[in-house]
């Protein structure tokens, strides 16, 4: 694996536009400033689910936080970003090893996009035969890309052993990924790789590290309600109580 690439340079001007829907059920929504979410879909236990992810438009190009879930979305996402912003994707960072976050890593690397995970995520990708990134990074890393800054933070295990969150300080956007459940969720979802005992402490670290986000983007379902961390802690409490009965 190659070493860590921290900064990209660029000087292109960007003007955000309104959200719109594209084919293949791909939906892109403006969050704040140069931050957008996109939703792709995949199957789990025979059901179809949407997966939220985030991208950041910079003067050097676009940074993806997590890949689409299934291959039918890989190229349409690139095409949609180009159509909207006239920018190419230059970097993709996966927040944990599950396929709804890593499925497109090999495809994007083949397109010349720099792909990143932590070494912990890479080890889990190897163990589970999931796509791997080209570049490794520490769990806690600050990136400066095309005039934008974002912080990668590892709070500890929760949904998975390796789950990361992303903080975009300029826009006060916290991308919690699958560590944080939507207030629409009535369960913790897939617990196959979860650490229910440590999950609450990891969430508390996130709250202490980034106490006043304007937006919290969760891994699945709606994200407009900022009480999602509190809701996730409530779900965890219910699971622990049921386990103790």
Evaluate whether residue 55 is within a structural domain.
yes
Domain annotation covers residue 1? no
pLDDT, tens digit (0-9, with 9 covering 90-100), for 64-79: 999 999 999 999 999 9
**CA distance readout (Å), 150 to 64, 129, 195:** 12, 29, 26
We report the CATH number of the domain holding residue 145 as 3.60.15.10
What is the total count of domains within the chain?
1
Distances (CA, A) of 129 to 3, 27, 103, 112: 22, 28, 11, 22
- What is the residue range of 179's domain? 20-244
> How do residues 157-216 score in pLDDT, each as one tens digit?
999 999 999 999 999 999 999 999 999 999 999 899 999 999 999 999 999 999 999 999
Q: Is residue 7 part of a domain?
A: no
Whether 2 is in a domain gets the answer: no
Q: Is the pLDDT of residue 82 over 90?
A: yes
In a domain, 6, yes or no: no
**Residue 11, pLDDT score:** 32
Give domain status of residue 12, yes or no.
no
The pLDDT-based confidence of 244 (bands split at 50, 70, 90) is confident
Q: Is residue 9 part of a domain?
A: no
Q: What is the pTM of this model?
A: 0.88
Residue 245: the pLDDT is 63
Please answer whether residues 39 and 50 qualify as being in contact, where contact means their C-beta atoms are separated by less than 8 angstroms.
Answer: yes
């Amino acid at each position: 694996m190659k070493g860590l690439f921290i900064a990209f340079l660029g000087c292109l001007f960007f003007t955000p536009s309104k959200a719109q829907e594209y084919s293949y059920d791909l939906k892109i929504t403006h969050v704040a400033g140069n931050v957008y979410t996109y939703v792709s879909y995949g199957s789990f236990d025979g059901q179809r689910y949407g997966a939220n992810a985030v991208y950041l438009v910079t003067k050097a190009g676009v940074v993806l936080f997590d890949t689409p879930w299934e291959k039918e979305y890989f190229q349409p996402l690139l095409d949609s970003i180009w159509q909207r912003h006239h920018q190419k994707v230059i970097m993709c960072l996966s927040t944990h090893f599950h396929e709804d976050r890593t499925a497109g890593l090999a495809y994007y690397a083949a397109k010349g996009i720099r792909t990143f995970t932590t070494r912990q995520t890479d080890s889990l990708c190897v163990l589970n035969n999931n796509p791997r990134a080209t570049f490794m990074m520490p769990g806690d890393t600050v990136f400066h890309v095309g005039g934008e800054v974002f912080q990668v933070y590892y709070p500890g295990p929760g949904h998975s052993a390796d789950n990361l969150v992303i903080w975009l300080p300029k826009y006060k956007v916290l991308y919690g990924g699958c560590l944080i459940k939507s207030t629409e969720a009535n369960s913790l979802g897939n617990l196959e790789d979860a650490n229910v005992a440590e999950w609450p402490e990891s969430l508390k670290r996130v709250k202490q590290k980034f106490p006043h986000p304007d937006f919290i983007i969760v891994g699945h379902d709606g994200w407009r309600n900022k009480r999602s961390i509190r809701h996730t802690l409530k779900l965890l409490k219910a699971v622990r109580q049921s386990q103790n009965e």
